[in-house]
Amino acid sequence: MPETSLKKTILVVEDDKILGKFMVDLLEEELNAQVLLALNGRQALTVIETVKPDLFVLDYQLPDMNGLHLYDRLHALEELKDVPALVVSANAPIEEIRRRHLSFLPKPFDLDELILLIQQLLAKEKISC
């Protein structure tokens, strides 16, 4: 069994390249996870054709669709319907996020809080197996 299969896979969808790369580096180092970056919704939909992430971290304000629309499209797929998601944004419709039972972290966020929340979401994902 390849070593990478033991690692959790996180798909970060963030249109700010600098913030996205920072999140990838941080999560790879702190969580020993495989972290993939998509800069928009279309890229995310392409990534999931070949990879099944254990967690989605979605910016709300993306250039081609908002993060909740992307979440709906991802979770419409049978193989991804149970994958947890974290929405990060400075400006997002909280009621829509709550209605979908998603986790939310406002930008700017505390790095320790981000890591803790992701650890909790990944632990929950394992329980459903």
- The domain spans of the chain are 3-124
* CA pair distance 79, 76, nearest whole angstrom: 9
* Residue linked to tokens 């992701």: 118
Q: What is the pLDDT of residues 25-73, one digit of tens each?
A: 999 999 999 999 999 999 999 999 999 999 999 999 999 999 999 999 9
Give the list of residues 6+ apart from residue 119 with CB closer than 8 angstroms, or none.
31
Tell me the two tokens of residue 62.
């993306």
pTM above 0.75, yes or no: yes
Contacts of 26 (CB under 8 A, 6+ apart): 111, 114, 115
Could you identify the residue written with the tokens 């939909």? Answer: 45
Say which CATH class 3-124 falls into.
alpha beta
